[in-house]
Amino acid sequence: MLIIAELAQAHDGSLGILHSYIDALATTGVDAIKFQTHIAEAESSIYKPFRTKFSFVDNSRYDYWKRMSFTLEQWKEIKKHCEDVGLEFLSSPFSQVAVDLLEEIDVQQYKIGSGEVNNFLILEKISKTGKPIILSSGMSSYKELDEAVHFINQFGNQLSILQCTTSYPTPYDRLGLNVISELIQKYPNNKIGLSDHTGEIYAGIAATALGAKILEFHVVWDKRMFGPDATSSLDFGQINQLVEGVRAIESSLNNPIDKNNIETFTGIKSIFEKSLAINKALKKGHKIKFEDLEAKKPAGYGIAASEFQKIIGKTLIKNMAQWSFLNYNDLNER
């Protein structure tokens, strides 16, 4: 399981805050940090309005992306810091120029956001790098996704596909966990995962149990912080819980149990399973009835409880005290 913590814009344009996130995430057990590489001039314009006006300091979406951007040298330092603490650096580019920047810092694989599935211009740009691609399917139909997957496959890149609902936060009735199983069947040669925006840990654990191999979620210090993704992010307490849960489920799935092989239970079966006994004092010659029987621990001291039907109607060859274990040599064959 590749666990990706998406920082996105949680840094609010501050390098200091960004680097402190890297150090903190290195202690949680995640595998990678994903950023978003925005170059305002290349992907937006001053005429682009806010989808939702959330910023008190930016007059347009263009201004916001401008404030969220970093220089090439700063990106190099960000990537180096990730690697220094043992985390893979990932980023989603939103323009051709952003891809060039990420190539300049030698990103090892690309994440493509949901809004870019139909942007074949950037799909070709990224595919031509030859590097692995993680494609988020959020706003696409299967027809659109099929077309994007077919397009990328022409270049031979290693491709992973994530179920994603582009809703922040995502309500559970729109999460689409069923799509994970559908994607596994539809694209058997690709790793399938979940990009989660619920702001809780449950979807990630469920996705793991369903066979997801990649899990991505947003992170934030505190859900009350400023930012468009804060309420759909996990805080650090949740991240620790999620990672622990995912690794536990992953270990279980990677170690299947053969229900036909019960050798490991031989000792404990003798303790928990039961032998037949009689529940009252009975005289020699008594014909055993169902009402005479009890099953008592441990196994092996009397006839197995599973065989009680074989002795109904047989007669005792001796007197027996209440709660005595019952064996075949206590009974007539008739």
Q: What is the pLDDT of residue 32?
A: 98
User: Average per-residue pLDDT in the chain?
Assistant: 94
pLDDT digits (tens, 9 = 90+) for 118-164: 999 999 999 999 999 999 998 899 999 999 999 999 999 999 999 99
Q: Domain map of the chain by residue range?
A: 2-253, 263-330
pLDDT digits (tens, 9 = 90+) for 256-312: 999 899 888 888 888 899 999 999 999 999 999 999 999 999 999 999 999 999 999
Cα separation, 45 vs 33, in Å, equals 28
User: Does the domain formed by 2-253 have CATH 3.20.20.70?
Assistant: yes
Q: DSSP letters of 204-272? A: HHHHHHTT-SEEEEEB-S-TTSSSTTGGGSB-HHHHHHHHHHHHHHHHHHTS---TT--GGGHHHHHHH
Q: Note the CATH architecture for domain 263-330.
A: Alpha-Beta Complex (3.90)
Check pLDDT > 70 for residue 51. no
Q: What is the pLDDT of residue 44?
A: 79
Check pLDDT > 70 for residue 50. no
